[in-house]
Amino acid sequence: MNAADLRLPVDVPSTALFTDRYELTMLQAALRAGTADRRSVFEVFTRRLPEGRRYGVVGGTGRVLDAVENFRFDSGVLDFLADRRIVDEPTLAWLADYRFRGDIWGYPEGEVYFPGSPVLRVEGTFAEAVLLETVILSILNHDSAVAAAASRMAVAAGDRPLIEMGARRTHELAAVAAARAAYVGGFTSTSDLAAGFRYNIPTVGTSAHAFTLLHDSERDAFRAQVDSLGGSTTLLVDTYDVTEAVRMAVEIAGPELGAVRIDSGDLLLLAHRVRQQLDELGAAKTKIVVTSDLDEYAIASLAAAPVDAYGVGTQLVTGSGHPTCSMVYKLVARADEAGPDAPLRPVAKKSMGGKTSIGGRKWAARRLDADGVAEAEVVGTGPVPAELADRQLLAELVRGGETVAREPLDTARDRHRTALAGLPMSAIQLSRGEAVLPTEYV
């Protein structure tokens, strides 16, 4: 069972100010113009994948649901808006009773997406839906970027486990979100205890170089760690001389030493030397963990090395060079009058420079070839073709303001593994290329 599903007492502040000022000024103007209650449909999508990437990974859906539930304008928030004269009194009165009461559909977390995929669809009045733009994009752009980087690293690692170790390389709250997204993308554990507490992700960690330097000798440091944590611990062996440290580690912990960690130097060369030395010392079961500014390419380069696990920090939490997915939140349909049954009509911005969008409330499906492998992402605004009816991608997440699709984080993790397996094999190539599936509009 996932900690989030148990509703553990983790304080989540109001997310109402995780927004841009112009969301509120648009609301004020729409209220005054009498257009705020027009039924509207907003969609989240990206026009292109980050350069060289072949697929995207949906990350952060569960956090979006939390953010929508906690989007409340309490007295402190309202006082701030009033003191700064950001909106007028009628708008403040409207915000005091704000609750999102619309519907949200989206690609379930862990699913893959492509340019034009309607990753999230938000339906409600213009007033209630427009306010959610910034917080939704903030979460999805960050978490999906980390999940995609994690996925590529997991592909490169194969069956070897990956440890998320990026907390000290990003904002303290972003670190928790990054650990969550990394787990969805294929990492097996995190060093971040807040992520372990909030999302029930397995946590790992033993010691840093500071612990070795604290002691009068490396022997004293190893002895202290083994005495405290047992022989199955992981000893860091590159503070001074790696060869001598490995010899001493096995001497102190015995041949059942859990693992050694290498954090610097030529990892490929050192891994081979350390494996040979461990085997000669009778520690054939002792594992080798490598860290040190790894990314998917460095991990792939170590595929032939006798490495048992990888620890990744900076490159993971920054999206391995692509810290955002460039997702946007656009109004694609709206009614001409208020009322839940008012007919919708497509709307879209006309723009040059690659910022065009397609109007209309969309569905999406993934078409398979004769072998059951995905061959196209099909996006449409009309009736869903019968042959694609059971291949639709959007799932109902929120109905009438109530969340209907909470799930354990492991479900999203398993979903990603299944989705990736259903793509053409070229999807897992690390070489630069275009999106592995074309997006077809019907």
> Which domains are seen in the chain, by residue range?
21-131+326-441 (3.20.140.10), 146-321 (3.20.20.70)
**If residue 227 lies in a helix (H) or strand (E), which one and from where to where?**
helix 218-229
Token pair listed for 263:
């954090």
Q: Considering the entire predicted model, what is its pTM?
A: 0.94
Q: What angle do CA 134, 135, 137 make, to 5 degrees?
A: 65
Intervals of the chain under pLDDT 50: 1-10
Q: What are phi and psi of 245, to 5 degrees?
A: -65, -40
Tokens 């019968």 label which residue? 386
Quote the pLDDT of residue 355.
Answer: 75
Quote the pLDDT of residue 10.
Answer: 43
Contact 283, 133 (CB under 8 A): no
Ranges of H-type helices in 34-132: 61-69, 75-83, 89-96, 126-130
Q: What are phi and psi of 248, to 5 degrees?
A: -70, -35
Strand partners, 56: 113
Region class of 60: left (phi > 0), else alpha (psi between -120 and 50), else beta: left
Tokens 């213009």 label which residue? 126
Burial of 327 (0-12, 13-18, 19+ CB in 10 A): buried
Tokens 């955002």 label which residue? 324
User: Helix (H, G, I), strand (E, B), or coil: what is residue 332?
Assistant: strand
| Angle, in degrees to the nearest 10, between helices 409-421 and 172-185 | 50
Q: Which amino acid is at 168?
A: R
Percent of the chain with pLDDT over 70: 96
Report the alpha-carbon distance of residue 127 to residue 111 in Å, rounded.
Answer: 29
Quote the pLDDT of residue 349.
Answer: 86
Q: Which amino acid is at 140?
A: L
Q: Which of 144, 182, 145 has the alpha carbon at shortest distance from 163?
A: 182
